[in-house]
Amino acid sequence: MKTKLFTGILSCVIIMGGCAVQNTKSSTTVAADAPAVSENPFYAESDLYMKYPPFDRVKNEHYKPAFEKGMAEHIAEIEAIANNNASPTFENTIVGLEKSGALLGRVSSVFFALTSAHTNDEMEAVRSEMAPKLSAHQDQILLNSSLFKRVSLLHENRNNLGLDAEGVRLIEKYYTDFVRAGAKLSSEEKERLKAINGEIAVLQTQFSQNVLKEVNALAVVVDTKEELDGLSDAVIEAAANEATSRDLEGKYVLTLRNTSGQPPMSSLTNRALRERIHKTSLSRGSRGGEFDNRENLSKVLKLRAERAQLMGYANHAAYRLEIQTALTPDAVNERLSSLAPKALANAKKEAADLQKMIDSEGGNFELASWDWDFYTEKVRADRYSFDASQLKPYFEMDNVLQNGVFYAATQLFGITFKERFDLPVYQEDVRTFEVFNEDGSTLALFIFDGYARSSKRGGAWMNAYVSQSNLMGDQPVVANHQNVVKPPAGEPTLMSFDEVITMFHEFGHALHGMFSNVNYPYFAGTSVPRDFVEYPSQVNEMWAVWPSVLKNYAVHHETGEAMPKALLDKVLATQKFNQGFATTEYLAASILDQSLHQLTPDQVPTADELIAFEADALTTGGISFHAVPPRYRCTYFSHIIGGYSAGYYSYIWSEVLDADTVEWFKENGGLKRENGDHFRKTLLSRGGSEDALSIFKTFRGAEPNIQPLLIRRGLD
């Protein structure tokens, strides 16, 4: 039983790992209409290469019986461990837990990956039904008194069992998980905890389903091509095709992304349309009607706060942060409050430049949030003599992936890639690659899912279908997902610079999963504190603009000519451009997250009060600026419904380590094999098998230094 899997899988954020489990009497029998054992691909371990999921055999009707059978088998295994008459040992208790729940793990890894990547109404119905059952299943395990007694005895004697450091740490982590799950509560308190967990599971599922449904329902319909002036022909054609798919022949549909800002805003000359798109985006989850998320969020926040106090913590943030590298809300508040004034000052300087551009063109209006991206590109063009659209012809998606992302990994780590066409995929655009070590041995399988679609949630993420483990003899099968708009048939997929950076970022998570070399599944790959997990992925972004890497992939998709040096130099010169905006919108979301989760139950705003609370939180946090909304407003802030509740600060926290690591690479010669080998051996391969900051210090040879981050963000 890998508890990290069960504590987060419902949220399905990558790395967003893990979910809960359940046990009710109804879950101990398989439904009468369940497929036969031989027909359900989850009932047996996959016979495909490296236990790769049999996507071609999986049908919607397989999920529910597999979940129910998986929970029943898991509970039987847990009962056998808990009621074992033999004295507890590391093997018969801890290793037993690690090996338990195989069927449940197989169906969970595929189901929750696909409800994010390629869902449908039947799967969403299963998700709604399974959410409270999985929550109850987890409670039945982690609140099992007999099982906890065995774990406690091992914990008391952990240093006298002859175990290596990883084995001792595994006992410690299991003990902590049981305590944090309520194992020490009274019987009455446990019953209340179970009720809270079940209700939260249902509400979180409803919230995430509303976000996906509404982002599709609120796609902006445009009547004429003239209104789309400024967009490329390929984007306009894609909008026309989207309209046709919605039976809106002759019109144009601009789909929304999950963030507050939307890609067309940087190019559209039609200010009224920019305003309509932006206001539509910001209104999500708070418009009233079937997708309104205010009530869901208010209830989740109140229940989380109650649960935290039941467990002896002041609030949900205190509960969550105790096991992160930050440790306390005060530490997070201090970091955010130290950065906010500098970021806001930079954003206001940038706003002044944008207003000058508006005024110089005779615009008789004050800069608004829907103007920011558009005039940022104008200022960029004026200041650096180029605009972002000039870059796209040099960023064809397959070329970026293979001659950029893969190339950098080969140069740094010696690994190579070969596309596999014999393994099934769940959607026609998905691709699979086998990854090899330098000696020719197989390292991992890598799945790439790059295109946006209505069945896919917004954003970008990594997940593991199979996690590395020496105990289980498993090698990694990991996946990266993005939401690049698919061009019309026959057209090349040209990416924005931001999308290129995102591809490198997500592959950093993939490397963390692929290089894992730990004994126990609990510690595999990205199973590290939430405010450490973004660190390796952010480091990997550096190679996107490393001269030798950029030169290798930034070639014109038609002519094959390299990006001109003058343009390349401008790309590098603009690295700090618009950082005030980027930092401010991020910090605003981070401060909002903390404000929502540092409340007692009585302080949680009602549904009607949420939007006003958000505005007050940004003002109190010193980050309120009308021209820069938070990257996510609370009603569509999926991160904090999933694995990043009270944890969105993690990106900036991790960036301290990231920026310091980039300096280490530069000091030691950059893209060199010996540097990659050191990073892999001391950090990327360790997963969660050691304390996160200790791993960093082993790699870096020093404590983290915040100065490189301040310089990068223009906050020094």
Distance, in Å, from the CA atom of 66 to the CA atom of 43, rounded to the nearest integer, reads 7
Measured at the CA of 466, the angle between CA 463 and CA 469, to 5 degrees, comes to 120
Look at the chain and count its residues: 716
Backbone angles phi, psi at 444, to 5 degrees: -165, 170
What is the helix (H) or strand (E) element at residue 111, kind and residue range? helix 102-117
Cα dihedral: 184, 190, 195, 196 (round 10): -30
At 166, list the tokens: 């990883």
Distance between first and last Cα of the chain: 46
**SS3 for 517-550, per residue?**
CCCCHHHCCCCCCHHHHHHHHHHHHHHHCCHHHH
Distance, in Å, from the CA atom of 630 to the CA atom of 592, rounded to the nearest integer, reads 8
Distance, in Å, from the CA atom of 511 to the CA atom of 612, rounded to the nearest integer, reads 42
Q: Which of 506, 541, 585, 690 is catalytic?
A: 506
Q: How far is CA 389 from the centre of its chain?
A: 27
At 136, list the tokens: 């109850």
Spatial contact of 635 and 284, defined as CB atoms under 8 Å apart: yes
Distance, in Å, from the CA atom of 694 to the CA atom of 165, rounded to the nearest integer, reads 13
SS3 content of the chain, % helix, strand, coil (to 5): 60, 5, 35
**C-beta atoms surrounding 29 within 10 Å:** 11
692: Cβ–Cβ under 8 A, 6 or more apart, which residues?
Answer: 325, 528, 529, 532
**C-beta atoms surrounding 218 within 10 Å:** 17
SS3 419: strand
At 478, list the tokens: 């990991």
Residue carrying the six token digits 């304390």? 691
At 372, list the tokens: 């920011």
Spatial contact of 483 and 257, defined as CB atoms under 8 Å apart: yes
Distance, in Å, from the CA atom of 273 to the CA atom of 185, rounded to the nearest integer, reads 55
Which residues pair with residue 433 across a beta bridge? 419, 446
> Is residue 506 annotated as part of the catalytic site, yes or no?
yes
Distance, in Å, from the CA atom of 260 to the CA atom of 253, rounded to the nearest integer, reads 18
Catalytic positions, written as ranges: 506
